[in-house]
């Protein structure tokens, strides 16, 4: 047990996170165990965000730090974090905003989901390929531009045409996205923030 790493992650102390991860690796502590400490720290970050002790700036930072620490461990493999199954996410094509997506993917990853991050400006074909390959129960589409609503709609419609719609719940999120957008693009749910995505996915998967 490394309370030091958990606290460092929760307090967003980059230097301490890096030194502690390196120390644990040297001591041959199993990667999965180190990841579990980072995840526990991220859980505290999430709680502090809910309690308005932390803000989006801290969530963005925590995502960066979690990824930095993961990279020291050679990345988080699917098996390492797939306690609750796979979550696929990307920002829809013609939109390159990545901040919101990065927060959600990291928070999902730190909450025990195997995350497949498709990146930004993601074409429909890539979502369909990922659904076929990873068989996620939930996918997320980020969209920050009103002009890209039709792209989200087309993507969801193509997922349906490919016969894959019944196998996944589709979540959408992003600044201008609201209930009316959800209805328009035929998604299943609008998530206002990363925590809501975690809660929805866990509830749907019966966790």
Partner 1 sequence: MTPQEMTEIRNKRMMAALNMEKPDRIPINLSGLGFFKFIDPTAVLADYFRRPKYIDDLLIQAAQLPIIDEIDQAPMVGFTTEAGQTAFAAMYFAKIKLPGRELAEDALWNIDEQGPMTEEDYDTVLDKGWGYMTAELNKRIGFDPASLPPPDMEYMGELMQKVAALGKASIGMGGLLPFPSFEVLSGARKLPQFFKDLRRMPDKVRAVLEIMEDYAVDETIKALKSGPPAVYGFIGGTRAGCDFISPKVFEKFHFPFYRKVIPAMQKINVKSWLHQDSDWGAFLHYFREFDKAQCIWDPDQMTGMAKIKEVLGDKMCIEGDVPPGLLAVGTPDECYKYAKDLCDLMGDTGFIMSAGCSVPPNAKRENIEAVILATLGK
Q: Which residues bind partner 1 (CB under 8 A)?
A: 12, 14, 55-58, 60-61, 63-64, 93-97, 99, 102, 145-150, 175-178, 180-181, 184
CB of 90 to partner 1, least distance (A): 15
Q: What share of the chain is helix, strand, coil (3-state, %, to 5)?
A: 60, 15, 30
Nearer to partner 1, 50 or 133 (CB): 50
Beta-bridge mates of residue 116:
88
Q: With respect to partner 1, which residue has the nearer C-beta, 94 or 129?
A: 94
Whose Cβ is closer to partner 1: residue 84's or residue 155's? 155
Q: Count CA within 13 A, CB hemisphere, residue 114.
A: 14
CA 102 to chain CA centroid, Å, is: 7
Find the shortest distance in angstroms from Cβ 20 to partner 1.
17
Token pair for 169: 């719940």
| Closer residue to partner 1 in complex, CB, 21/136 | 21
Q: From the CB of 30, what's the least distance to partner 1, in Å?
A: 28
CB nearer to partner 1: give 99 or 207.
Answer: 99
CB of 55 to partner 1, least distance (A): 5
Question: Could you tell me if 127 and 195 are in contact, meaning their C-beta atoms sit under 8 angstroms apart?
Answer: no
Contact 104, 135 (CB under 8 A): no
Cross-strand pairs, 140: 89, 171
Q: How far is the CB of 32 from partner 1 (least distance, A)?
A: 26
Nearer to partner 1, 102 or 109 (CB): 102
Rounded CA separation 79/67 (Å): 17
Counting Cβ atoms within 10 Å, is residue 203 exposed (0-12), middle (13-18) or buried (19+)?
A: exposed
Name, in order, each residue with C-beta under 8 angstroms of 77's C-beta and a sequence gap of 6 or more.
none
Question: Closest separation between CB of residue 57 and partner 1, Å?
Answer: 4
């Amino acid at each position: 047990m490394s309370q030091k790493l958990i606290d460092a992650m929760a307090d967003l102390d980059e230097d301490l996170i890096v030194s502690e991860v390196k120390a644990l690796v040297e001591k041959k502590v199993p990667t999965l165990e180190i990841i579990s400490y980072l995840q526990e720290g991220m859980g505290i970050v999430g709680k502090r965000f809910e309690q308005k002790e932390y803000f989006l700036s801290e969530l963005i930072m925590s995502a960066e730090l979690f990824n930095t620490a993961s990279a020291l461990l050679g990345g988080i493999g699917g098996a390492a974090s797939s306690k609750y199954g796979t979550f696929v996410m990307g920002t829809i094509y013609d939109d390159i905003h990545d901040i919101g997506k990065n927060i959600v993917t990291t928070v999902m990853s730190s909450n025990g989901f195997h995350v497949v991050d498709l990146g930004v400006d993601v074409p429909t074909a890539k979502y369909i390929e990922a659904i076929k390959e990873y068989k996620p129960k939930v996918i997320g589409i980020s969209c920050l531009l009103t002009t890209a609503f039709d792209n989200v709609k087309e993507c969801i419609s193509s997922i349906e045409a490919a016969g894959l719609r019944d196998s996944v719940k589709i979540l959408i999120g992003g600044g201008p996205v609201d209930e009316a957008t959800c209805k328009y693009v035929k998604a299943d749910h609008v998530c206002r923030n990363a925590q809501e995505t975690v809660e929805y996915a866990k509830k749907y998967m019966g966790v």
